[in-house]
Amino acid sequence: MSSSRLETEHLYKVFGRRPGDAVTRLEQGADRDELRDDGSTAAVIDASFTVAPGEIFVVMGLSGSGKSTLLRMLNGLLEPTAGHVRFDGDDLTALGDRELRALRAHRISMVFQHFALFPHRSVRENAAYGLSVQGVPRAERERRADEALALCGLAGWENAWPDELSGGMRQRVGLARALATDADLLLMDESFSALDPLIRRDMQDQLLELQKTLKKTIVFITHDLNEAMRLGDRIAVMRDGRIVQTGTAEDILVRPADDYVASFTQDVDRSRVLTAAAVMDPETHGDEADCDCPTATPDTPFTELCALSARLSHPVAVLTEDGELAGVVRRQRLVGLLGDRQGAAEPCDSPRVPDRAALTGGKLTARA
Amino acid sequence: MPRIRLGDRVDDGVNWLVGHMSWFFDAVRTVVEGLYDGIYAVLTAPEPLLLAGVLAVAAWWLRGLVAGVLAFAGFALVDSMALWDKAVSTLALVLVATLVALVVSVPLGIWAARSKAVSAVVRPVLDLLQTMPSTVLLIPAILFFGMGVPAGVVATLIFALAPGVRMTELGIRQVDAELVEAAEAFGTPPRDTLLRVQLPLALPTIMAGVNQVIMLGLSMVVIAGMVGTGGLGGAVNEAIGQLDIGLGFEAGLGIVVLAVYLDRMTGALGAQISPLGRRAAAKARTAGTAKLRNHRPSPAVALAGVVVLALLAGGLGVFGPSAQTGRATGTDVGRGKKITIGHIPWDEGIATTFLWKELLEERGFDVTTTQYAAGPLYTGLATGQIDFQTDSWLPVTHAEYWKKYGGQLDDLGKWYGPTSLELAVPSYVKGVDSLADLKGRSPEFKGRIVGIEPSAGMMGLLKDKVLKEYGLGGGYEVVDGSTPAMLAELERAYAKKEPIVVTLWSTHWAYSDYDLTKLKDPKGAWGKGDGVHTLARKGFAGDNPEVGAWLKDFSMTEKQLTGLEAGIQRAGKGGEQDAVRAWLRANPGLAGKWAPVAPVTGSGGKSGANGVSNN
């Protein structure tokens, strides 16, 4: 596992009395509500995942799902009740307080939901905070802080105070503070949730832009699936302390692990996420690509597929770069994905001639 | 319910502490006294107005020009009321108490903020300390630390500790948890989290706590005056003890000036030293226009001003009032030896105390007199803090005190007596000549007998014995109060010619000022009457053989005593010693008789009397 930057293995966190016993019971299959009756709260249950270097790993879940607790075990702010966190070969659970602090000062940094800027320090002093903990001399840490601020688009604001900045700018300071220490691992706890939608989009774009050059390993917590889809190379969905599914945005959308995940994906704007490769049917009959109709490639976005499909009377053929047929996309499937549920077509108990139905004035539309 | 003897346990505990922990109390005492003496010496070195100037510059820097001018005016007023030394002594006391309170309370508050267990223990203890009536703590404080400043500081401290601890804890707990987490997330060690994040952000709240500590300390000053801390508190106590409304008001006003100054300054200091406060101030300055009244000197200018004034002050102090004036006379028996006389605010006590102060000073002793309530006075004598007192009514009136402390005191004998205790009515109340006549006339007197301090022996006697003997228990209620309050009530009723019954004793100047009828006691319920004794601490007579001999031989006639008391009453507060001198001049020979200078030099006993006429 030396290739992975960050790895967790059967991680548990239980608050309350006798947490050790609670873990044993959870391992034997007890559920969260049984434990709650005994006065302990299982915040994270059996979480295992691996985050590759340079990857943005998003943990998504509603409030109370345990995602913030999980994040705080990744940098040792909370001690796991059971299980291991390994980062670059170090087992965090085996480290002492002092070593953990050194790790947090140098290699892991964090961005907070409500920015957590120190109101009694200027923007520059805030950005340089991690460096001052490391004991970097003043001149150097100010230079590096200014660089990080410039990277986040805050050049010229070094001498301002946090209370003079807007929400988005404050979070840029928070981001600059986390970047200034040159940590490899960035933990972001609902970092954009407190911002209004437009600014949030800006910040997401900026994070993706920065990530292209910085290639940090990022664990990003959010309750917003759209944000998870935009940012995440891979996404873990949490529910009641457990990770119910880990996968790419497409996996989550197209192959939800259970109804819970599926219900989550209802409101997602699929057209932004899905591509031909995700929706095509790879079982082909060999006769689809023999016409001159327009075709798609595996990377063709969902919206373009819809446009193509509307113009064609048969399924859209998906060709690879070499011109090989990779699969076909059926209109039925496209329409199903726009709705909230897939599955086999249900037979109709009183089939009608489509033309007549259209003539009788919108009855079909009403039934659909 | 069974009677739980909790009080006995407390007594035992206090005795054990006095017996076994004296090294600790002595150490505390030395530290506190050292601090107080140091601060007092620094504050009294400069001329009053110069120090007022220094304080005013500080006010200008912290709050602006108006505050500076008002501060100077306030301190100038204190000086003009001749209360400067007392005010500075009070200021030093409060500063020491605040300093010690902060040294204790800020760490305790931090600890309580970080540990729920500590917080759970500290809270009820603070509640106990803060709500326990402070006078209850004063007597143990005397037993542990002796009379004077240390006991006062400790009493003030105990009272003022609570807000310091509470506000520190609150301030730290109030700091946004996300900020603390952010500090930890960047690997800040716990100590740096405290020093660099929590304390700076909690500072405004902590400063509010400091402000509270100072204010509570000042409000304790008056109560602490009862244990002989002197200062404005002592002045207030003496003034109200002797019904001197004017002086009480002046001293009270002095406390107000100090309180307002310290309150405003600590408030502004909080804004100056806390980073958030500075930030807010900077914002306000850029928003508003600069006006003269808002102008503040920069810290450098202010500091320079203070230093210049302080140097000037220190320089003048060297040549100024520090030159001690010694009274060199041929009758210098004492050679500057210190003697402390305590007294209760009873007239014969005041009269003889100042009589002996004058006599002993003439003979070269350095005499301090302080007024106390009876309880602290006896405690002070028993612990050796006070050398002697002249106003002990034995065997009846002060029997309780004698029972408790008699073994630790030397009785230097009776100098006056027998006294008599009685109830008295104004002579315009007709038909009441004897205690028996009061029966059935209670509506006329509104059912009240105006008494004095409930701790006084005669009050117990009156309630337990006299009223029963004459069957007055049902019709009359004895009103507890104080001697001055009783006298004020008598004066008010006398002016309006209203009927009133008061407790009095002979001899008392009231009999010469008002036309009063002593109610006869045919059944002898009041007892035979006391002698007024002089009591000294154990070993005083051995340490000061001459003074011991003089006090043992001392006696006064009723004519002498009433004459002296009336003279002092006419001279008013502050003029006691002048009245004594005038009276001694009018009665030549008495000084020589009471305090003969031993004929070591062969010049004969007469020279003592000559010494007096030097004045």
- DSSP string covering B255-324: HHHHHHHHHHHHHHHHHHHSHHHHHHHHHHHHHSPP-GGG----HHHHHHHHHHHHHHHHHHHHHTTTSP
Of B185, B200, B201, the CB nearest to A77: B185
Neighboring chain B residues of A101 at a CB cutoff of 8 Å:
187-189
Whether the pLDDT of residue A363 is over 50: the answer is no
At A3 the pLDDT is 43
Q: Rounded to whole angstroms, how far apart are CA atoms B614 and B329?
A: 9
B181 to chain A, any CB pair closer than 8 A? The answer is yes
Q: Which of A2-6, A231-235, B265-269, B416-420 has the lowest mean pLDDT?
A: A2-6
At B73 the pLDDT is 92
Is residue B239 within 8 A of residue B160, CB to CB? The reply is no
Residue of A nearest to B177 (CA): A116
Tell me whether residues A130 and B187 touch, CB distance under 8 A.
yes
> Which pTM does this prediction carry?
0.68
Q: In chain A, which segments carry CATH 3.40.50.300?
A: 6-107+183-268
At A222 the pLDDT is 92
Which CATH architecture describes the domain A6-107+183-268?
3-Layer(aba) Sandwich (3.40)
Is residue A165 within 8 A of residue A121, CB to CB? The reply is no
Tell me whether residues B279 and A163 touch, CB distance under 8 A.
yes
A37 to chain B, any CB pair closer than 8 A? The answer is no
Which CATH architecture describes the domain A272-356?
Alpha-Beta Complex (3.90)
Q: Following DSSP, what letter does each residue of A145-182 receive, concatenated?
A: HHHHHHHTT-TT-TTS-GGGS-HHHHHHHHHHHHHHTT
A102 to chain B, any CB pair closer than 8 A? The answer is yes
At B598 the pLDDT is 58
A103 to chain B, any CB pair closer than 8 A? The answer is yes
At B615 the pLDDT is 36
At B127 the pLDDT is 87
What is the least distance, in Å, from the CA of A21 to any CA of chain B? 25
Tell me whether residues A110 and B276 touch, CB distance under 8 A.
no
At A289 the pLDDT is 56
- Judge residue A212's burial from the number of C-beta atoms within 10 Å of its C-beta, 0-12 exposed, 13-18 middle, 19 or more buried: exposed
Rounded to an integer, what is the distance from CA B527 to the centroid of its chain? 34
- Whole-number CA gyration radius for chain A: 25
Mean pLDDT of the A83-108 span: 88
Q: Rounded to whole angstroms, how far apart are CA atoms B227 and B248?
A: 18
Most A CBs within 10 A among B179, B184, B186, hence the mutation to make, goes to B186
At A129 the pLDDT is 92
At B544 the pLDDT is 87
Tens digits of per-residue pLDDT, B416-469?
878 888 899 999 988 888 888 888 888 888 888 988 877 777 888 888 888 888
Mean pLDDT of the A335-352 span: 62
3-state secondary structure of B394: strand
Tens digits of per-residue pLDDT, A244-297?
999 988 888 888 888 888 887 777 777 777 777 777 877 766 655 567 778 888
Distance in angstroms between the alpha carbons of the first and the last residue of chain B: 67
Tokens 């004063």, located at residue = B138
Instruction: For residue A87, list its beta bridge partners.
Output: A6, A90
The better pLDDT of the pair A124, B610 is held by A124
Handedness of CA B563, B565, B566, B567 (dihedral sign): positive
Q: In chain A, which segments carry CATH 3.90.1280.20?
A: 272-356
At A339 the pLDDT is 63
Structural domains in chain B, CATH included, are 35-317 (1.10.3720.10), 338-411+536-595+605-612 (3.40.190.10), 420-518 (3.40.190.100)
Q: Which of A108-122, A235-249, B368-382 has the lowest mean pLDDT?
A: B368-382
Residues of chain B with pLDDT under 70: 241-243, 281-282, 284-300, 309-331, 598-615
At B312 the pLDDT is 66
Q: Enumerate the H helices of B45-187 as residue ranges.
A: 48-63, 65-80, 84-114, 116-131, 134-145, 149-174, 177-185
At A334 the pLDDT is 80
At A287 the pLDDT is 59
Tokens 């539309």, located at residue = A365
Phi, psi for residue B424 in degrees, rounded to 5: -135, 145
A133 to chain B, any CB pair closer than 8 A? The answer is yes
Question: pLDDT over 70 for what percent of chain A?
Answer: 88
